[in-house]
Structure 1
Amino acid sequence: MIGSHPHLSSAVYVGNGRSQPAAILEVADGELSKLNADQVIDAVWPLIEEVNSLSPSHGQLHKSHLIIADSSKRFLRTAKCTLRRRETAQLFESEMREVFEAPARTPNYGIHIDVALSDELQSFVRMVYQKATGCESLKLDEDIFLVGADSLNIQDAISDLKAAVFSPQICIDTSWINQKAVYANPTTLTMTRFLGSLGRPQVPAAPEQLAERQQFLQKVYEQFRQQFPGGLRIGIGETSAPTTVLLTGSTGNLGSYLLDALLRRSDINTVICLNRSKNAAERQMMSAAEKGLCMDFNRDRIIFMHADLSQPQFGLEQHDYEYILSRTTVIIHNQWPVNFNLPLSSFEPQLQGVVNLVKFAGEGVCSPRVFFVSSIAAVNNWRRQIHLDSPTYDIPERHFTDLLLASGGYGQSKAIAADLLYYASSQCGLRGAIVRLGQVAGASKCGGGVWNTNEWFPSLISTSQTMGVLPEMLPLLNEIDWIPVDSAAQVFVELALDSYTPSSTADPRQRNMALFNVANPNTIPWGNLIPAVQDSAQDGLKTVSFPEWLAMLESSMPVQSEKAFVTLPALKLLDFFRGLQEGEHEGAKQTLLQTEVTVRSSLCLAKMGAITKKMMTAWLERWKA
């Protein structure tokens, strides 16, 4: 798309496997060819911003990662003028190395801020956050992640804050100023308070603090619950109506497999896909091709619509909204940013989307059922129940109202969404289910898509291969209950569409709002899969204890370069891995999702076996490709 700019003859994306892509731009003959590199970038930047708006944060282009080809170094093409992308990228290897291996910028503010001086500290934090977002008009209470900041451009902000803050009273431990802290304090006001607290002696968390957090989460829940119309009643839809599924987030990883599972069913009349991107159909086709999925996108059977669920009527034209109101019988709500670093405030548009979907179900001609993709993160703190006399470590197949069981902003948003749906079920008659997913792995079928390399396990494997050592156990995660993504999608579709046996009183679908746990019912110890990982390594991998592995990773922290994050991607998730070690040290145990009821409701889950060495080998091969 960038290559379509009138002043460019072509563009090549590079950086596969790196944390951030780059692009090489070839300037077309004309006026623009007389400009310097910075002027060329400024000229094409509006188009790149448009492309970035349609891409996930890790796939967006930054100005620092744009390479302007010199006029004496043209792109390589075939005799038929087809661009030879691979050879062209090799031609610019030195320029690419300069971009990707550039060291992290050293802060040059040259000032020091006493954290006790709140006004000066606030002004400095605002300046740092303005630079991270590029938003000069940033408000004091504005979330930087809602105005353009991401995990890449906050690194400079972290360095700036670490270099500037001090206290004349105590020695500040600046290790607390990290990515986790920025995600937890995304506004100028909250970060100012956080930095100020570093200048005071630290005390353990008190019960009052837990109560305050509970009140905050409840307040957010009430903010959205109160939006439900007082007289909203959702009846039972006409069962003879053709099955039309409204699927949100179909272009994502799980969404692509959900769509594939739906299209393979003969009892589905139409699938309506609501996505944030304007070019969803094109992206869906590319995703299906990459993953080896169904590509028969018959226009009579699948419809793509550009929608924003947080807006009234999903931001659709009136005739489109009325069309889906008249047809939809089942809603599968999958669209949700999968980012475990973001604070709860960043998920408010998604919570608004849940409210709007409930209203939609109430207005729908067929009173559609709602099936929501939830997560184990919504109840992850169940493991904190270890103080009980007879603790149960496996998470039951039932709904919990204690929002403190959720971990992080992502889990909290999923928990609040589930509470909203349960309220709509009890008060308005909404029907459907909450489907709580555990760890979703790569596809089980050969030729399937690549397991996202930004996730914790692929990052652990890539980092281990670089360091030459592999942890012999995984604290709190050692029993592998992963479910392949294609199987997870099949299970979800079965739970949403297959009829239950009326004589089975245990089937939760007899209730208005059911709750299912979806994880692999057959676990396998991590140690049984280690040989497959070792066999795939060219020079072999020796096993070490997890504390040793973590110490080796932490010793790499001073290496602040793009190359370090590429070869040691686990550095980006250092807080996550530290948390596993700390949790086990404190006596926490691994929690698994109970699946007995769900197994009786899904044939796919009932037949599922444990993760195998063959699957592991296939995932490793796909990461190498």
Structure 2
Amino acid sequence: MSPSIANRVNGDFATNDLFMEDPPGSGYWCHLGRIDDTLVMENGEKTNPTPMEQAIRASPVVKHCIVIGQNRPCTSVLVELKDDGVYQQQDVKELVHAAVANANKDAPNHSHILPHMVYILPSHQHLPVNAKGNVIRKETMKQFHDVIETMYDDFMQGTISSLDVAQLSDANIISNDYQQLESFLCTEIAGVLEKEVSFIAFNKDVSLFDLGLNSLLAIHLRNIISKALKVSIPSNFIYEHSSIRSLVHALGRKEPSTISSSDTTEQHYQETQALLEHYLACAKRDFQKCTAIQQQHHGHVVLLTGATGSLGSFMLCDLIQSSRVTKIYCSVRITHCGSNTKATAMNRIRQSFRDRMLDISLLDHVKVEALPTDFNATYFGWGKATYNQLRQEVTMVQACGWLVDFNHPITYFDKECIQGLYNLLKFAYHPIHPMYVHTISSISATAAMGVDHIPETISPQDPHVALAMGYAQSKYIVEHLFDYLMREKHFPCIVERMGQLSGDTIHGAWSKSENYPLMIIGGGEKLHMMPDLKDAVIDWLPVDYASSCIVDIMLKTSATYTPEDLVGRVFHIVNPNRVSWSHVLKAMHGCGMDFQIVELEEWIMTLQKHQTNPAYRLLSFYQHVLLQGEKDAQKQWQKQIWETKHTAGLTEMLNRAPVVDTRLMSKYYTFWKNQP
């Protein structure tokens, strides 16, 4: 190839083709398609439309089709029919939907096309194609913009087809007839999850999320129930009542106008305290008091969870470069589809490094090993020999991995996170020389304490000190469990209570799917409107600084601190160099964003009307925390200061952290704009 057509600075030529090593480590590669054909969805998941389009075009009635999903909450498809007139209209629809169902079979769950997201073009409309007969994606998006926007708006708003309305109307569902309501729910949920009705009915006490429901299908199910019962249902209702039995009870005991999520808040607080008492009782039974603690300056072997996340990636990067660490085992959560080998686990870590522009060559270091892990499985899925080997070898654990979701209740976090962490604690425990165990908590676990300054100590044992959401309550439980183990069992379990992290200071890598990026992009760039958070205190900490501080704390506490020194202590990973919300808005303006500043309530009401806006996915969080009885707590939270004196005394990097100014915001904004 002639050097004159090289398109990279090093003289290489990028073909934009996508390959996958299959199987991993074999040296054999399978061509998947082209980079510009890959759809990056709103949540960051990637969809390859080519095999799906091929499957749909295999239908005898389909001439052309195009799968859509770039920056969307779900996939959809536009279908152009053949004009041979062989099939009746109803037969054509059934054949198209059968072809879509066939395409879904070999596609990952996040790529599945829902029935309501299939648009069959009228006979007079045609998809634009090139000379080879391939659909031109860019021209299609422009030509059918209104059709596509309407399809997504209708789905997010709950507008469903006339056929579905007729079917639901014929059902005449009576909400206080429990038997009829249960039968209706089983039938509809079976359809949504593509499972047998008998299977759903048999599992009516099981969380629907364990049966395959995801956030997208939850919206779909909520729309169906809302239409059938002729009632508006809160966006987080399916999360609050995630089993058939719970849904029947919640829907059957309420008049339509009284269906809300606010009456479950106190119940969740009670569940939180009951769970904490359960784990404290287990800890009292399962752990004896440690009689000797081994302080260690060098030669650490670290077990790190959450290495594929943002903070975990930066921590892994720092641990690799530390001369005081000789080995890092990275536990990578086992997936329920695809391969779960060490090679695929390492590939996931590599991809996380790429996404954050970290030095991938660091992962070639012999001190790094990836372990596919299920903390609820026997021996964590490692096998008995590896489990026992690591119990003797590992000196320190950093439990960084956690589900970040503001919709699920505390019971879901217990199953998904807390139970596994408790098993990890049992792995780390030895009556003599236990491992030092660290965990990343959240300021949301103390954000409702009702005081202006939050000390670097354990909070009162009252679940009401945490925000009224499962994520915050799960962190409250973990903090108090760790405090008990430190205080009563002399087991060195240390909490880093983390505030809002922002992107790093080098490349500005900050995921567009996180809370504030969604607000900034959805508000400042899409709505051209940002909320006035009044006197909110902004203590965002760049993730590279947070990582450096936490690794520093990990190494120093194990070298010089005993459990007696750390009883009741919590380390605050927040920026001590605080600015106002207006300072952040000014930085956004400095990046070229054009927006007006409005009252928070107005901003949320406007967002509610724009279902395709990126920030819409957090609407229930905004409504629940800000508008449904939590206003006073939120205003208090915005003004609260998490003290950092003792933390900064241990790690100097904290005081040197930069604030979010125009320079740093520009890096974030540039990073977001360059993402697919």
Per the alignment, do residues 223 and 509 of structure 1 end up closer, same or farther by CA in structure 2, a change over 3 Å counting?
A: closer
Q: Give the match for residue 388 of structure 1.
A: none
The answer to whether the 8 A contact 1:358-1:421 is kept is: no
Secondary structure in structure 1 of the residue aligned to 2:369: strand
Q: Which residue of 624, 647, 652 corresponds with 1:598?
A: 647
Q: What SS does structure 2 have at the residue aligned with 1:145? A: coil
In structure 2, what is the Cα distance between the partners aligned to 1:524 and 1:27? 48
| 3-state SS, counterpart of residue 380 of structure 1 | coil
- Tell me, in whole angstroms, the C-alpha distance in 1 between the residues paired with 2:322 and 2:229: 60
From 463, 487, 501, the counterpart of 1:403 = 463
In structure 2, distance between residues paired with 1:586 and 1:372: 26
**Match of 1:261, as an amino acid?**
D
Which residue number corresponds to residue 491 of structure 1? 549
Aligned to 1:14: 39
Q: Distance in 1 between matches of 2:352 and 2:643?
A: 32
* CA–CA separation in structure 2 for the residues paired with 1:611 and 1:29: 47
Q: Which amino acid aligns with 1:13?
A: T
Larger CA deviation: 215-224 vs 34-43: 34-43
Change (3 A) 1:225 1:541: same
Matches of 2:579 and 2:496 in 1, distance apart? 23
1:210 to 1:143, Cα distance in 2 relative to 1, 3 A: closer
- Match of residue 300 from structure 2: 243
Q: In 2 relative to 1, CA 179–599 (structure 1 residues): closer, same or farther, beyond 3 Å?
A: same
Query: Any conservation in 2 of the 1:463–1:570 contact (CA below 8 Å)?
Result: yes
Cα offset, 1:41, TM superposition: 5.9
Q: Is this contact kept in 1: 2:553–2:650, CA < 8 A?
A: yes
Task: Name the SS for the 2:454 alignment partner.
Answer: coil
User: Contact 2:400 / 2:439 at 8 angstroms: preserved in 1?
Assistant: yes
The CA deviation string for residues 101-154 of structure 1, in whole angstroms up to 9 with x for no partner, is: 624250532234232222222332333333443343232221112222222111
Letter of the structure 2 residue corresponding to residue 293 of structure 1 = L
SS in 2 for 1:25: helix
Is structure 2 residue 271 aligned with structure 1 residue 216? yes
**Aligned counterparts of 2:351 and 2:270: Cα–Cα separation in 1:** 45
Farther off after superposition, 519-528 or 114-123: 114-123
Does 1:144 find its partner at 2:208?
Answer: yes
Question: 1:143-202 CA distances to partner (integer Å, 9 max, x unpaired)?
Answer: 112222222111121111211226xxxxxxx44x12222211111222222223431886
Q: For residue 107 of structure 2, what is the aligned residue in structure 1?
A: 48
- Decide whether aligned partners of structure 1 residues 10 and 519 sit closer, same or farther in structure 2, where only a CA change above 3 A counts: same
Taking the aligned partners of 2:176 and 2:312, their CA distance within structure 1 comes to 48
Measure the CA separation in 2 of the matches of 1:272 and 1:525: 40
* Aligned twin of 2:228: 164
- The reply on whether 1:332 has 2:398 as its aligned counterpart is yes
8 Å contact from structure 1 (residues 396, 594) kept in 2: yes
Which residue does 2:582 correspond to in 1?
Answer: 527
Please give the per-residue CA displacement for 1:41-98, whole angstroms capped at 9, x wherever unaligned: 666655534xx5xxxxxxx21134899xx9x97999xxxxxxx9xx985476479966
The alignment status of 1:381 with 2:448, answered yes or no, reads: yes
**Per-residue deviation, 1:214:** 4.6
- Give yes or no for contact 1:307–1:315 (8 Å, CA) kept in 2: yes
Say whether residues 1:130 and 2:196 are aligned partners.
no
Map of 1:10-409 to 2, 5 A cutoff? 10=33, 12-15=37-40, 17=42, 22-26=47-51, 45=104, 47-49=106-108, 52=109, 60-64=110-114, 90=138, 93=141, 102=151, 103-104=154-155, 106=160, 107-108=164-165, 109-110=168-169, 111-136=171-196, 137-138=199-200, 139-165=203-229, 174-175=231-232, 177-199=233-255, 213-228=268-283, 229-230=285-286, 232-234=288-290, 235-237=292-294, 239=296, 242-277=299-334, 278=340, 279-295=344-360, 296-347=362-413, 348-363=415-430, 367-382=434-449, 385=450, 392-400=451-459, 401-407=461-467, 408-409=469-470
Relative to 1, partners in 2 of residues 1:121 and 1:430: Cα closer, same or farther, differing over 3 Å?
A: same
Shift of 1:488: 1.3
Q: 1:417 to 1:523 in 2, by over 3 A?
A: same
Return the letter of the residue paired with 2:626: L
Task: Report how far residue 396 of structure 1 moved.
Answer: 2.0
Contact 2:305 2:398 in 1 (8 A): yes
**Alignment partners' CA distance in 2, 1:500 and 1:421:** 16
Local SS of the residue matching 2:371: strand
The corresponding residue for 2:473 is 412
Name 1:623's counterpart in structure 2. 672
Contact map agreement 2:273 2:462 (CA 8 A) in 1: no
Letter in 2 for 1:601: L
Once the two structures are TM-superposed, the CA of residue 225 in structure 1 deviates from its matched residue by 4.1
Q: What is the aligned length?
A: 573
1:62–1:43 distance in 2 versus 1, CA, 3 Å: closer
CA deviation string 1:574-599 (max 9, x = no partner): 23333325644689423332222212
Residue pair 2:237, 2:260 contacting (<8 A) in 1 also: no
Task: Name the amino acid aligned to 1:216.
Answer: E
Q: Which of 654, 657, 665 is matched with 1:608 structurally?
A: 657
Q: Which amino acid aligns with 1:580?
A: L
Distance in 2 separating the partners of 1:364 and 1:320:
21
Which one of 570, 587, 596 corresponds to residue 615 of structure 2?
570
- Mapped to 1, the partners of 2:581 and 2:380 lie a distance apart of 44
Question: Does the 8 A contact of 1:500 with 1:601 survive in 2?
Answer: no
Structure 1 unmatched ranges of 5 or more = 53-59, 77-83, 167-173, 386-391, 558-563
* Percent pairwise identity: 21
TM-score, scaled relative to structure 1: 0.80
Alignment-mate amino acid for residue 282 of structure 1:
N
Q: Is contact 1:376–1:438 with CA below 8 Å preserved after alignment?
A: yes
CA distance in 1, matches of 2:588, 2:328: 39
- Per-residue CA deviation, residues 292-346 of structure 1 (Å, 9 max, x unaligned), is 2232113521010000112232121122212211211110001111101111222
SS in 1 for 2:470: helix
| C-alpha distance in structure 2 between counterparts of 1:510 and 1:479, whole Å | 31
Q: In the TM superposition, what whole-angstrom CA distance separates every residue of 1:246-292 from its partner, at most 9, and x where no partner exists?
A: 00110111111111121121111111100114322112112212322
Whether the aligned pair in 2 keeps the contact of 1:470 and 1:543 (CA below 8 Å) is: yes
Cα 1:622–1:210 shift into 2, 3 Å: closer
Aligned 1:419-430 pairs, distance under 5 A:
419-430=480-491
2:533 to 474, 478, 481: 474
1:141–1:29: structure 2 CA closer, same or farther, 3 Å change rule?
closer
Report the Cα distance in structure 2 between the residues aligned to 1:75 and 1:270, rounded to whole angstroms.
56
Question: Does the CA-based 8 Å contact 1:379-1:415 persist in structure 2?
Answer: yes
Residue 327 of structure 1 aligns to which amino acid in structure 2? E
Q: Provide the rounded CA distance (Å) in 1 between the counterparts of 2:324 and 2:516.
A: 37
Code of the residue aligned with 1:534 in structure 2: it is H
Quote the residue 1:79 is aligned against: none
Question: How far does the alpha carbon of each residue in 1:593-613 deviate from its partner, in whole angstroms, 9 at most, with x for none?
Answer: 222221212111122243222
CA distance in 2, matches of 1:547, 1:201: 22
Ranges in structure 2 where 5+ consecutive residues have no aligned partner: 1-17, 23-28, 63-95, 120-125, 335-339
Q: 1:4 to 1:328 in 2, by over 3 A?
A: closer
Aligned amino acid, residue 477 of structure 2: I
Could you say what secondary structure the match of 2:406 adopts?
coil
**Cα offset, 1:493, TM superposition:** 1.0
Deviation digits for residues 454-484 of structure 1 (CA, Å, limit 9, x no counterpart): 424433432332222333x215x72111111
| Structure 1 counterpart of 2:77 | none
* 1-structure distance, mates of 2:358, 2:317: 6
> Matches of 2:586 and 2:473 in 1, distance apart?
37
What value does the CA root-mean-square deviation take over the aligned residues?
A: 4.1
TM-score by length of structure 2 reads: 0.74
2:73 corresponds in structure 1 to none
| C-alpha spacing 1:373/1:22, structure 2 compared with 1 (3 Å) | same
Distance 1:350 1:74, change over 3 A: farther
CA drift at 1:436: 1.0
